[in-house]
Structure 1
Amino acid sequence: MRPPTTSVAAEATRVVGAARTMRVRSASAPPPGRPVNEDLVFRFGPLAGLLDGATVPEGFDTGCVHGPSWYVRHLAARLGLAEAARPTATLMSNLAAAILAVRSDHGDECDLDHPGTVSSTVCLLRDGGDHLDYLVLCDSPLVLDAGGVVGVVTDDRLETAMAGLRTTLAAVPAGATDPVDRFRRAVGVQRERMNRTHGYWVAAADPEAAFHAVTGTVPLRGPGAVRRAALLSDGASALVEQFGLLDWAGLLDVATADGPGALIDRVRVAERDHPDRLRRRKRADDASVVLCEFDAE
């Protein structure tokens, strides 16, 4: 389900409403045995967010001296500053400002026009008093419990682009290229489709990407009010989207009853034991959950 106010292009300035209490719990962790977490969760006043930095495949250049973890830290900090400076601006505008500011943070050592430049998904939720504004860019979904109906806001353009790529590669005879060449070709094509009209959009070095995000507004009052919301990296949403162990309502219930950390614990069990684990591109992934709860009127 995608709320009816969802838009991938329109933008309008909104007035921040009266302050309310948004209770936020979160958890974020790299896979066991890997010390660096390329996800980041944060909260700045009424703004809650989750960033999932794109892992750079081994042996591939990015044109940048920084890595995904550096990028998500700087992008989160710049988002906080943008929100503090312009609390009534749209999430699109503040994300664009943050991306532009991080571009300056790179300095002169990085080639920011490189197709593999460091990048991140973005999932944002902002409490406006009587409404919530949201923004989803790339594959970090937002789950909403609105009026007792649980639905999900997704940006599926990366999956669509990759499905087309898989179809193209499947047409190449198995013996025509070795697995390493096929993988390198796949990464190259994916990079060519990043931040392109007929590809997918992600936060990187071009602020234009912010204006291609999936955005919308949902009420915090009335019969259709949002009572719970969960921001997820794809490492956490895998419980629904890849392993099929929960539906979106079940995922929200686990996060609410047992906490975001318990949801990540379930991810680790699935990555270790589920029969479909060997079909995944990554055997294990960073996993992050931000749970936001609101009082009933």
Structure 2
Amino acid sequence: MIEARAAGWEARAQSRPGSAAPNEDAYRTGGDWALVLDGITRYPDDGCVHDVPWYTAALAESIADGITGPDALADVLAAAIAAVNARHESTCDLGNPVSPGATAALVRRRGDRLEWLVLGDCAVAWRGPDGACRVETDGRLAALPGVPAVELAGIRRWPVPYVASVRNREGGFWVASTDPEAAARARTGAVPLAGVADLLLCTDGLTRLVDRYGHTWPQLLAAVFDRGVGAALDLVRAHGDRDPRPGSKRHDDATAVHLRLPEFASL
């Protein structure tokens, strides 16, 4: 758990692994920016000597290096993907269709505007001073028809040939991996900061509350903003403990970053 007051906002964040395996999520916060990354669970024979936590840590570092500059968020992400490629192209097969990758959510404060980006199944959401909620997600992965799952390294997943046909492909879904051009497919936007009191960036380990367990987005945001990041993660873990469905991970790595604008910090 981190808690910090920066020049731009007050940040509270927490990341929890879903099992005894290393946490594949990553997050960073700065005075006027924040990011979360959800590492894609590793496929066998992915052509890389590095594990997924290495990839998400390297990508987070590279995004942080560029996010305070003048470039648009999609360009920052593209440059970060290229920078990580340069770190391991001599040791790894970056043409492998399941090379390590991540989904992403980025935000940045610029003047009186909030810029946001989502790529893959991370999310950015906020609640205004009037209590109104807004959510920005990327639904392309969830919209795919998919194919029957197979067991790969003890986890039921889509088979590699299907993933190769839809990952970072037209008509499929887009993630940060080895193709910097994927960043241009991210959903992006900007809104007036006056309409943002509390802001959440999170991975799908937390959005399970909505996607799988029947909560609404206003309920999820209330859990984070009113009860705290830890309480929200406790809630999704409690649901997972009671989830009887076979064939999927009972718990996923879960990360949430709660940002509160300074003018609302006393609320």
TM-score (norm 2): 0.89
Q: Is the 8 A contact 1:230 1:292 kept in 2?
A: yes
* 1:232 and 2:214 are equivalent in the alignment: no
Match of 1:25 in 2: 12
Other-structure match for 2:99: 117
The answer to which structure has the higher strand fraction is: 2
**Any idea what the Cα deviations from partners look like across 1:86-121, whole Å, max 9, x if unmatched?**
x22110111111000000011411000100100000
Residue in 2 aligned with 1:190?
163
Call closer, same or farther: CA 1:133–1:188 in 2, change over 3 Å: same
d(CA) in 2 for partners of 1:251, 1:193: 30
Contact map agreement 1:22 1:127 (CA 8 A) in 2: no
* Equivalent residue in structure 2 for 1:136, among 118, 143, 154: 118
Q: Distance in 1 between matches of 2:256 and 2:157?
A: 31
The structural deviation recorded for 1:194 is 0.6
Find the counterpart in structure 1 of residue 189 from structure 2.
216
- 252 and 149 in structure 1: CA distance in 2 versus 1, 3 angstrom threshold: same
Give the match's secondary structure for 1:112: coil
Q: 1:227 to 1:36 in 2, by over 3 A?
A: same
Identity, % of aligned positions: 36
Distance 2:10 2:64 in 1: 18
Matching residue of 2:66: 82
Cα drift, residue 80 of structure 1: 1.1
Matching residue of 2:252 = 285
Displacement after TM superposition at 1:198 (Å)? 1.1
Unaligned runs of 5+ in 2: 1-5
* Structure 2 match to 1:61: 45
Matched, 1:100 2:82: yes
2:228 to 238, 242, 259: 259
2:3 is matched with which residue? none
Q: CA deviation at 1:239?
A: 0.8
Instruction: Provide the C-alpha distance between the structure 2 equivalents of 1:68 and 1:206, rounded to a whole number of angstroms.
Output: 16
- Answering whether residue 140 of structure 2 is matched by residue 157 of structure 1, we say yes
Asked if 2 retains the 8 angstrom alpha-carbon contact of 1:136 and 1:142, the reply is yes
- The structure having more radius of gyration, on CA atoms, is 1
Residue 227 of structure 1 and its aligned partner are, at CA, apart by 1.1
| 1:13 matched residue in structure 2 | none
Aligned partners of 2:17 and 2:23 also within 8 Å: yes
**Count of residue correspondences:** 255
Residue 242 of structure 1: which of 212, 218, 243 is its match?
212
SS where residue 238 of structure 1 aligns? helix
Q: Rate the CA distance shift 1:279–1:159 in 2: closer, same or farther, 3 A.
A: farther
Q: Which runs of 5+ in 1 are unaligned?
A: 1-18, 171-178
Q: Single out whichever of 277-286 and 149-158 deviates more from structure 2.
A: 277-286
1:204-229 deviations in Å (ceiling 9; x for gaps): 011001100000001112xxx11111
Residue identity in the other structure for 1:255: V
Q: How many angstroms does 1:187 deviate by?
A: 3.7
SS at match of 2:197: strand
Deviations 1:8-54 (A, max 9, x none): xxxxxxxxxxx96311111101024x141000111133110100000
CA distance in 1, matches of 2:62, 2:115: 19
Taking structure 1 as reference, are residues 263 and 23 closer, same or farther at Cα in structure 2, changes over 3 Å only?
A: same
Deviation at 1:296, TM superposition (A): 4.8
Shift of 1:133: 0.2
2:35 to 26, 36, 49: 49
CA contact (8 A) 2:114 2:193 kept: yes
The separation in 2 between residues aligned to 1:150 and 1:257, in whole angstroms, is 14
Task: Specify the SS of the correspondent of 2:169.
Answer: coil
**Matching residue's letter, 1:158:** L
Aligned to 2:54: 70
How far apart are 1:280 and its partner, in Å?
A: 6.1
Superposed CA offset, 1:142-185 (max 9, x none): 11223532121110111112xx124xx49xxxxxxxx659x676
Q: CA 1:82 to 1:132, structure 2 compared with 1: closer, same or farther past 3 Å?
A: same
Is residue 27–residue 261 contact of structure 1 (8 Å, CA) maintained in 2? yes
The 1-side partners of 2:158 and 2:70 are apart by 44
Q: Give how far 1:293 is off.
A: 1.3
Q: CA RMSD in A?
A: 2.1
Paired residue type of 1:101: A
Q: Which amino acid aligns with 1:253?
A: A
